[in-house]
Amino acid sequence: MRADWAVCFLGAVLLLTLPLKWLLAAVLAAAFHEFCHFLAIRLLGGQVYGIKLSIGGAAMETGVMSPGREMLCALAGPTGSLLLVCLFRWLPRTALCAFFHAAYNLLPIYPLDGGRALECIARLLAGKWAERICRWVEWGAIGAISALAVWACFWLHMGILPLLLAAFLIIKVLARKIPCKPPQLGVQ
């Protein structure tokens, strides 16, 4: 397992600013989400070679999988998060964190789980058009989220936070490395 310096810095800032109960709930929800990915990979016969924690989230280095298996593994994390929501009565903070973690990860934006699943479905059904379809859906989602952020900021008077979140998603898409050759390792 590897973690870059920004994760350590963010962890320190969160420890100083958030109530410990909420921070532990968020960590538990995220850990269960990643465990569900790991479990799906292993159940489908895949190998996990490493885990990298970065400011953008966790990524598992795996062997290359078929699009169908990759889609199942990508959706296993959000499915596990949504299962945690069922524990709301006993673990309300963890369930709430898990719900928002699943909602964020299901956005059709690569490399989020929803974007990975969309890409797998598009590769199976659309062939050479898969890349173009995924980018159109991704930018459509970014546009809709940006419009909602502007609406929340100016008409609901929610402050600048919605715009910052939309900017984060746009930066995440623009900063993504686009490979020029097929990868030897898959990343979940």
pLDDT digits (tens, 9 = 90+) for 154-188: 888 888 888 888 888 888 777 765 554 455 555 55
CB-based contact 100:84 (threshold 8 Å): no
Amino acid at 18: L
Residue 173 is predicted with a pLDDT of 76
CB-based contact 110:138 (threshold 8 Å): yes
List, for residues 37-57, the tens digit of each pLDDT value: 999 999 999 999 999 998 878
Residue 111 is predicted with a pLDDT of 85
Cα dihedral 63, 113, 31, 25, rounded to 10, equals: 180
CA 5, 7, 13, 19 torsion: positive or negative? negative
The confidence band for 65, taking pLDDT boundaries of 50, 70 and 90, is very high
Residue 110 is predicted with a pLDDT of 87
Q: Residue range 137-166: average pLDDT? A: 87
List, for residues 77-131, the tens digit of each pLDDT value: 999 999 999 999 999 999 999 999 999 999 999 889 999 999 999 999 998 999 9
Distance between CA atoms of 145 and 48, rounded to whole angstroms? 33
Residue 181 is predicted with a pLDDT of 46
Tokens representing 91? 């673990």
Own/partner pairs, 63-69, CB within 8 angstroms, 24+ separation? 63/185, 63/186, 64/182, 64/183, 64/184, 64/185, 64/186, 65/41, 65/186, 67/120, 67/121, 67/123, 67/124, 68/120, 68/124, 69/44, 69/45
Q: How far are the Cα atoms of 62, 77, 138, 170 from residue 38, in angstroms, in the given order?
A: 10, 9, 26, 28
Residue 174 is predicted with a pLDDT of 75
pTM for the whole structure:
0.84
CB-based contact 149:162 (threshold 8 Å): yes
The per-residue pLDDT of the chain, averaged, comes to 89
Q: Which of 19-33, 144-158, 171-185 has the lowest mean pLDDT?
A: 171-185
CB-based contact 40:48 (threshold 8 Å): no
Residue 3 is predicted with a pLDDT of 86
Strands (E), the chain: 2-3, 48-54, 57-63, 185-187
